């Protein structure tokens, strides 16, 4: 018998990345596809040690239900870290621990979006944020970006002419998929516009700690004069993603609403995972650990950028990220990255075509390269092959 699924299921498609990742599970594939951190940098021994300490010292508390808001010492650490690095003024009651920052996005949809509401986002933007918000029946308006971030004139124009705008979703630091970082003026301006038009902002920041060069910039949240801005963060890229521990920070009244919807979703995050992270932060120097990650990724970024310059044909644009995990390639108009991917997969090289990072239009001449998850030799080999495939493709269609 045919079942009647919820209307939202018709808008939910299999993620292209998840499908490509199935191919990349084969050992001999060189994958630029996922956003995976380098597993050799996970602090396994330290986690093992801290895990035992937590079980010994906290005992059954570590295995018991806990509050929805999350483990208080961890929330305190997060508030302090954000205040020191991002210029915010938060305390633990501004923080809700979430199942990765991804849950912060889904709960934002639950808290703010009704069917037919409008979400404004960068064009292109993070694929799984599109899926999370789409399941609440919203429509997207994409706002163009340049190398300094979202175009604030267009944003203001859209804000002043469009009804039903319920959220602005942005990734101002080392954006996924483009690797771009917004400058200070755009951050300040976004906070001003959010206040002026009374539209909340979700500032998604899972990569901000991974800066290879230049100064750390204050968050959009630090310019929040009225309490409209929510900021997500995550331990996925600075510790390990398998714990699925992230957070959302915001005005206390708004965070209380998130707590209510989280109760209906999963009651709370994993107790022992939160305690292990808090204990790790107490016993180890996370900055030293992040320093190691940054050093490895910086070298991989350098190799990736050099290879793109060297092996890709002229006329191809790409971003030069100052941090994070990705660079973004723009092929000449009329060339489909999906066609290039097909040929690359035959040669056991994978990446994600850019089309699915646009919620409305399909710009098919773009693709994303992740450089964090592979040794330098493989990055070189893989990008050389992609470069050759593009050369051949351009030659064939001429
Ligand atoms: N936001 C962005 C922009 C991402 O790229 C990701 C995935 N890496 C997430 C949120 C979710 O990450 P996590 O749930 O592991 O914190």
Cβ of residue 176 lying under 6 Å from some atom of ligand 1: yes
Query: Residue whose CA is closest, atom 8 of ligand 1?
Result: 35
Q: What pLDDT score does 8 carry?
A: 84
Q: What value does the mean pLDDT take over residues 223-237?
A: 98
Residue 363's pLDDT band (boundaries 50, 70, 90)?
confident
Please tell me the distance between residue 206's alpha carbon and the centre of ligand 1 in angstroms.
Answer: 6
Share the mean pLDDT of the chain. 95
What is the rounded CA–CA span in Å between residue 223 and residue 152?
Answer: 15
Residue 204's pLDDT band (boundaries 50, 70, 90)?
very high
Residue 361's pLDDT band (boundaries 50, 70, 90)?
confident
The model's pLDDT over 129-138, given as tens digits with 9 standing for 90+, comes to 999 999 999 9
Q: What pLDDT score does 341 carry?
A: 94
365 has a pLDDT exceeding 90: yes
Q: What value does the mean pLDDT take over residues 198-210?
A: 98
Cβ of residue 246 lying under 6 Å from some atom of ligand 1: yes
94 has a pLDDT exceeding 90: yes
Cβ of residue 236 lying under 6 Å from some atom of ligand 1: yes
Q: What pLDDT score does 164 carry?
A: 95
- What are the structural domains, with CATH classification, of the chain? 7-43+288-397 (3.90.1150.10), 44-283 (3.40.640.10)
Q: What pLDDT score does 12 carry?
A: 76
Residue 20's pLDDT band (boundaries 50, 70, 90)?
confident
Please tell me the distance between residue 364's alpha carbon and the centre of ligand 1 in angstroms.
Answer: 23
Q: What pLDDT score does 24 carry?
A: 79
21 has a pLDDT exceeding 90: no
Minimum mean pLDDT range among 7-11, 49-53, 166-170, 370-374: 7-11
Please tell me the distance between residue 202's alpha carbon and the centre of ligand 1 in angstroms.
Answer: 13
The model's pLDDT over 99-117, given as tens digits with 9 standing for 90+, comes to 999 999 999 999 999 999 9
Mutate to test the pocket of ligand 1, among 129, 133, 234 (most ligand atoms within 8 A of CB): 234
1 has a pLDDT exceeding 90: no
Q: What pLDDT score does 378 carry?
A: 96
64 has a pLDDT exceeding 90: yes
Q: Which atom of ligand 1 is nearest to the CA of 102?
A: 14
Cβ of residue 203 lying under 6 Å from some atom of ligand 1: no
315 or 197: whose pLDDT is higher? 197
Residue 33's pLDDT band (boundaries 50, 70, 90)?
very high
Cβ of residue 204 lying under 6 Å from some atom of ligand 1: yes
Is the peptide bond preceding residue 348 cis, with omega within 30 degrees of 0?
A: no
The model's pLDDT over 38-58, given as tens digits with 9 standing for 90+, comes to 999 999 999 999 999 999 999
Percent of the chain residues past pLDDT 90, beyond the cut? 89
Q: Which atom of ligand 1 is nearest to the CA of 103?
A: 14
Query: Residue whose CA is closest, atom 5 of ligand 1?
Result: 176
Minimum mean pLDDT range among 15-24, 73-82, 279-288: 15-24
Q: What pLDDT score does 120 carry?
A: 98
Please tell me the distance between residue 241's alpha carbon and the centre of ligand 1 in angstroms.
Answer: 9
């Amino acid at each position: 018998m045919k079942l009647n699924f919820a209307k939202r299921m018709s808008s939910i498609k299999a993620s292209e990345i998840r499908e490509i990742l199935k191919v990349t599970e084969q050992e001999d594939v060189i994958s630029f596809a996922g956003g995976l951190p380098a597993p050799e940098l996970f602090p396994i021994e330290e986690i093992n040690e801290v895990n035992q300490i937590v079980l010994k010292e906290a005992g059954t508390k570590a295995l018991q239900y806990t509050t929805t808001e999350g483990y208080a010492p961890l929330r305190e650490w997060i508030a302090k870290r954000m205040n020191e690095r991002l210029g915010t003024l938060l305390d633990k009651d501004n923080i809700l621990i979430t199942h990765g920052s991804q849950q912060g996005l889904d709960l934002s949809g639950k808290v703010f979006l009704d069917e037919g509401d409008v979400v404004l986002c960068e064009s292109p933007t993070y694929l799984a944020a599109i899926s999370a918000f789409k399941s609440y029946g919203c429509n997207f308006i994409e706002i163009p970006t340049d190398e300094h971030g979202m175009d604030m004139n267009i944003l203001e124009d859209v804000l002043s002419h469009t009804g039903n705008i319920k959220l602005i979703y942005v990734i101002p630091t080392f954006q996924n998929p483009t690797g771009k970082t917004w400058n200070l003026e755009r951050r300040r301006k976004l906070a001003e516009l959010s206040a002026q038009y009374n539209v909340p902002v979700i500032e998604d920041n899972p990569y901000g700690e991974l800066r290879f060069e230049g100064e750390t910039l204050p968050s959009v949240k630090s310019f929040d004069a009225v309490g409209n801005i929510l900021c997500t963060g995550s331990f996925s890229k600075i510790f390990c993603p398998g714990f699925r521990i992230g957070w959302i920070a915001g005005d206390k009244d708004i965070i209380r609403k998130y707590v209510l919807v989280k109760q209906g979703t999963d009651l709370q995050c994993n107790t022992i995972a939160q305690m292990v992270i808090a204990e790790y932060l107490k016993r180890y120097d996370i900055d030293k650990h992040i320093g190691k990650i940054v050093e490895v990724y910086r070298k991989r970024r350098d190799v990736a950028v050099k290879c793109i310059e060297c092996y890709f044909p002229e006329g191809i644009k790409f971003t030069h990220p100052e941090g994070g995990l990705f660079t973004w390639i723009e092929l000449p108009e009329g060339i489909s990255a999906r066609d290039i991917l097909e040929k690359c997969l035959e040669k056991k090289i994978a990446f994600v075509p850019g089309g699915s990072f646009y919620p409305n239009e399909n710009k098919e001449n773009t693709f994303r390269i992740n450089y964090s998850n592979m040794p330098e030799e493989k990055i070189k080999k893989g990008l050389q092959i992609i470069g050759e495939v593009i050369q051949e493709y351009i030659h064939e269609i001429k």
